[in-house]
Structure 1
Amino acid sequence: MPSTTLSPITTAQIQVASEIGTLRRLLIHSPDRGLGKVVPSKAQDWLFEDIVNLNMMRRDEYDYYVKLLLYFLDPEKVQGRKADTTPNRNFFKPDHDDYFRSDKVIDIQVLLTDILQNEVIRTKLIASICGIERTSFQTQQQLHEYDPVELAKIMISGSLPDQTMLFAPLPNFIFTRDIGIVINDHILLNKPAKLARTREALLAQYFFHYHPIFASYRDKIIEIPDNEHAFLLSDTDVNRDVTRSTLEGGDVMMIAPRHLLVGVSERTTLYAAQQVMRLVFEKNVVDKVTIIKIPKKRDYMHIDTVFTQVKRNVWVLLGSLARTGDEAKKRDVLHFFAPKDMSEELRILQFIKGLEHKPIEIENLEDLLTDISKNDLGAAEPVRFIYSGNNEFPFGAREQWTDSCNLLALKDGVVVGYDRNDRTLEAFRQAGFDVVGAAELIERFEDGEASPQTLENTFIMLPSAELSRARGGSHCMSLPLLRDAV
């Protein structure tokens, strides 16, 4: 097999200063054989809500996502290859010779394969993984027998080529957003809250620190510390939010050139948010950090499950956590029977560098997002909000659960989301957006009837019967490395 090594990128090629600047480079991970190993009895332990049909997820859904990304970011790799890029062809699989090998749409399996060609790194990583997975020494020796391509697949999927399972799969690895995030020209690595994602964080540490494409950024990698006295704390205290340091990328948004949003959620602790704020201020990466505390509910998980940006002046969000939330709750009979901790209110505090002791409290999400659009991003048009489920009970909550608020902006005003959220899609149409299926749009690109460069105000619908079972949308499935300035 030919080498999958990518050419090193220069210091100007990792930079993210917004959620809407035209996307130029990102990390993804195509569904691997590990997703086909999830069993019902372990699904929730492995942070999956359901078991999925792997072939259908790849062939009928995720492959369209990859094609869209290529048409927008690296069209030379896909334009005119209609026959080659039929879903489920080898073109999409990073371990095949026909793989598209883009340096703009980069699969983390390729990065892992590359670094495993170095014998020293290979030995260290095998030992590290076998340590955290508590395997036998014999298994550790066995792993040394595989070539880098197959070893990368084993480390991610947890299974050997003959389907024998050595350790748990990493079904959440398709959600690359959670392993890290680019903040201007720095890279913030995560600290997952759940044991099931420990191996993901380890693999991410290795390819961010060792792969040549990140060589110029190694002194700009930020890792948040644990409580320095954690080893002295009781088990009860270690598990408290005030002492734990857990962070996932879905709770971090580089929203404007000098403004960072950090969520405190089911997966990210207040202690971690404070550590992020301290470090980015010390390193002069941003001047403003807004901490958004959302209810600790599986429904929400991260802040990017309750809102994302669509356009400089347009946002999609969940009405029950917004200013309109009071009315939504009045219509929701279940709200009156919810335990106190399940109806915990949203809280927003904004901190300015040098004035951290004087945080500004912001009343609701609409006020925060309006301020970002107008004052951070200079939006001249009125700020508008599109609500999950068109803010109709019970569709707001139902469609938020299937990622109606979790959208990836390919450019200002052009987003990718799931096709199943009918009321939200209708709200987009009412707001003046074209709503088009991925397959249809790709046909238009191929026939020259449309162009990614001229597309405006468009919601691209991704097939989602299987992907939506995984509880993450297109925003979760992307780790932007480079966006144009806005």
Structure 2
Amino acid sequence: MENENQTIESDTNATTDPFDTSVVKQINVSSEIGTLKRLLIHSPDRGLGKVVPSKAQDWLFEDIVHLDMMRRDEYDYYVKILLYFLDPDKVKGKIDTLGPDSDRSFYKPDHPAYFRSDRVVDIQSLLADILADETIRTRLIAAICGIERTSFRTQQQLNQYDSLELAKIMISGSLPDLTMLFAPLPNFIFTRDIGIVINDHILLNKPAKLARTREALLTQYIFFNHPLFADYQNNIIEIPDNQHAFLLADSDTNRDVTRSTLEGGDVMMISKRHLLIGVSERTTLYAAQQVMRLVFGKNLVDKVTIIKIPKKRDYMHIDTIFTQVKRNVWVLLGSLARTGDEVKQRDVLHFFAPKDLAEELKILQFVKGQEQKPIEIENLEDLLADISKTDLGATEPIQFIYSGDNEFPFGAREQWTDSCNLLALKDGVVVGYDRNEKTAEAFRKAGFDVVPAAKLLDRFEQGQSSPETIKNTFIMLPSAELSRARGGSHCMSLPLLREEI
């Protein structure tokens, strides 16, 4: 046990030391497009290989994935792209040697050969770090075993593992021999949902579904205990519960106006003084109002825009229907934009069919000090254009790139596989999925270079391009398996630090 503790201490020091010295400002996000400097990710873990059809819906996972293919042929490219942009010394000149590595040791947070970046940070590494503390370890094991209703013997069993393995067990739900102790957390790869950075504050989520309770608990322990966040303890925002909610019947209407649930995919720090919050099937109006009250009270922003989207599985969060590409460019679903309104006006059935309020898109903008007089914005495009011009000072014409090039049925088909869910690495350079071919063509028409991730990495290695010089580019990730999870590159990232624009 003594040698094991020494190993843990060595691993912990190697992981946490960079966070104390590398960057003076550890956390700050004031836009969706400022050059990305640090983010949280989570590589697909062995728990994804435990999802079975009969439990997929309960565990909030859409499909059964081929885990090795998802990791080796797809997500690894995401990691290499992120490292080349954020921490190039880890991969520059080494790309050819990283692909053939049969055991993928470079990508495994528990392996000595792991890339161990202080800029591209796997949340599993942070969890392992805090589990090296005996007090945190004991409390977290007890809390998780309480949530999962395990036996006392299981608590004792978990305490026998070192911090690296214990972190894997807590996330995947399974032991090293793949015996399942409790349900996996397949959605943990979508780190965007666990929280959001609002300037120099961190808003923690409150998941709507019980299947994500363990995710929320692990996240709380990490943000409140890891050295990376030590200087931000007073800047962590937790959304209060409504103490009277349990008195009301749990209808859809009551749930929306009384329950306090929120996920990070419904929150965008769109400019330094403007926050967007979506009200969706996962984020309630009550939670949105509480966040607005908190950020106004802390003087973090001057404007909060609440976007109520249809409560449909197609549109889980607002980042599934639009994301920002460039100061003056957005990608969005045409059926919920102005073009969708125009199509409805040409459809005679629209005038006679009964109105379904669940399908309604509604946008209200609140200004600090004038919360009782919100401004109603009629159209999503009007909102996004105003953000580009007013909040971000765009001088070029505003462009909208539509999912599936706004062609039936490709707009809806490709939105389902996250054509609108893109991560901006910097202004005008975004990462998305290669399977959304019509959307890629729309990017080409808008003047963007559309390039597969492997080809771009080769250009970087050959010196033909670089992250510093690249402009107006849509980077396509392989996505046959990743897209089955119903989450894109925006979902798979929690930006911690961006340059101000």
TM bucket normalised to smaller: over 0.9
Tell me the secondary structure at the aligned position of residue 455 of structure 1: coil
Tell me the secondary structure at the aligned position of residue 110 of structure 2: coil
CA distance in 1, matches of 2:66, 2:424: 27
Deviation at 1:337, TM superposition (A): 12
Tell me the secondary structure at the aligned position of residue 246 of structure 1: coil
Q: 2:71 — aligned with what?
A: 58
Which residue, out of 94, 119, 122, partners 2:134? 119
Which residue, out of 328, 348, 362, partners 2:377? 362
Deviations 1:359-409 (A, max 9, x none): 000010110000000010000101110000111111100000000000000
CA distance in 1, matches of 2:150, 2:351: 49
* Matching of residue 47 in structure 1 with residue 57 in structure 2: no
Deviation at 1:13, TM superposition (A): 2.1
Deviation at 1:330, TM superposition (A): 6.8
Which residue, out of 110, 113, 121, partners 2:125? 110
Question: What pairs up with 1:29-44 in 2 under 5 angstroms?
Answer: 29-44=42-57
Whether the 8 Å contact between 1:60 and 1:87 is mirrored in structure 2 is: no
Counterpart residue type for residue 225 of structure 1: P
TM-score w.r.t. length of structure 2:
0.94
* Matching of residue 73 in structure 1 with residue 101 in structure 2: no
Whether the 8 Å contact between 2:248 and 2:254 is mirrored in structure 1 is: no
Tell me the secondary structure at the aligned position of residue 380 of structure 1: coil
Counterpart residue type for residue 371 of structure 1: D
Counterpart residue type for residue 58 of structure 2: D
CA distance in 2, matches of 1:339, 1:136: 53
Which residue, out of 377, 384, 392, partners 1:377? 392
Q: 2:231 — aligned with what?
A: 216
Deviations 1:93-133 (A, max 9, x none): 11111100000000000000000000000001001100111
Counterpart residue type for residue 326 of structure 1: D
* Matching of residue 25 in structure 1 with residue 65 in structure 2: no
Which residue, out of 147, 156, 173, partners 2:188? 173
Deviation at 1:176, TM superposition (A): 0.2
Whether the 8 Å contact between 1:225 and 1:245 is mirrored in structure 2 is: yes
Counterpart residue type for residue 16 of structure 2: L
Tell me the secondary structure at the aligned position of residue 278 of structure 1: helix
Question: What pairs up with 1:44-443 in 2 under 5 angstroms?
Answer: 44-86=57-99, 89-235=104-250, 240-329=255-344, 341=356, 344-443=359-458
Tell me the secondary structure at the aligned position of residue 299 of structure 1: helix
Q: 1:134 to 1:198 in 2, by over 3 A?
A: same
Counterpart residue type for residue 259 of structure 1: H
Q: 2:3 — aligned with what?
A: none
CA distance in 1, matches of 2:420, 2:492: 14
Deviation at 1:228, TM superposition (A): 2.3
Deviation at 1:331, TM superposition (A): 8.1
Counterpart residue type for residue 243 of structure 2: E
Deviations 1:252-294 (A, max 9, x none): 0000000000000010000000000000000111110000000
Deviation at 1:449, TM superposition (A): 1.2
Q: 1:411 to 1:334 in 2, by over 3 A?
A: farther
Q: Percent identity?
A: 81
Whether the 8 Å contact between 1:63 and 1:87 is mirrored in structure 2 is: no
Deviation at 1:469, TM superposition (A): 0.2
Q: 1:6 — aligned with what?
A: 16
Deviations 1:35-81 (A, max 9, x none): 00000011111111110000000000000000000000000111122
Whether the 8 Å contact between 1:64 and 1:87 is mirrored in structure 2 is: no
- Residue segments in structure 2 that go unaligned for 5+ positions in a row: 1-6
Whether the 8 Å contact between 1:11 and 1:216 is mirrored in structure 2 is: no
Deviations 1:274-330 (A, max 9, x none): 000000000111110000000000000000000000000000000010111124457
Which one has the bigger helix percentage? Answer: 2
CA distance in 1, matches of 2:347, 2:461: 46
Tell me the secondary structure at the aligned position of residue 482 of structure 1: strand
Deviations 1:344-372 (A, max 9, x none): 21000000000000000001011000000
- Residue segments in structure 1 that go unaligned for 5+ positions in a row: none
Counterpart residue type for residue 104 of structure 1: R
Tell me the secondary structure at the aligned position of residue 456 of structure 1: coil
Counterpart residue type for residue 86 of structure 1: G
Deviation at 1:233, TM superposition (A): 4.3
CA distance in 2, matches of 1:331, 1:134: 56
Runs of 4+ residues over 3 Å off in structure 1: 8-11, 230-239, 327-343
Tell me the secondary structure at the aligned position of residue 95 of structure 2: coil
Q: 2:468 — aligned with what?
A: 453
CA distance in 2, matches of 1:40, 1:222: 36
CA distance in 1, matches of 2:185, 2:127: 14
Counterpart residue type for residue 363 of structure 2: I
Tell me the secondary structure at the aligned position of residue 11 of structure 2: coil
Whether the 8 Å contact between 2:410 and 2:438 is mirrored in structure 1 is: yes
Count of matched residue positions in the alignment of Structure 1 and Structure 2:
486
CA distance in 1, matches of 2:410, 2:461: 35
Q: Which moved further from structure 2: 319-328 or 415-424?
A: 319-328
Q: 1:342 to 1:93 in 2, by over 3 A?
A: farther
CA distance in 1, matches of 2:354, 2:208: 23
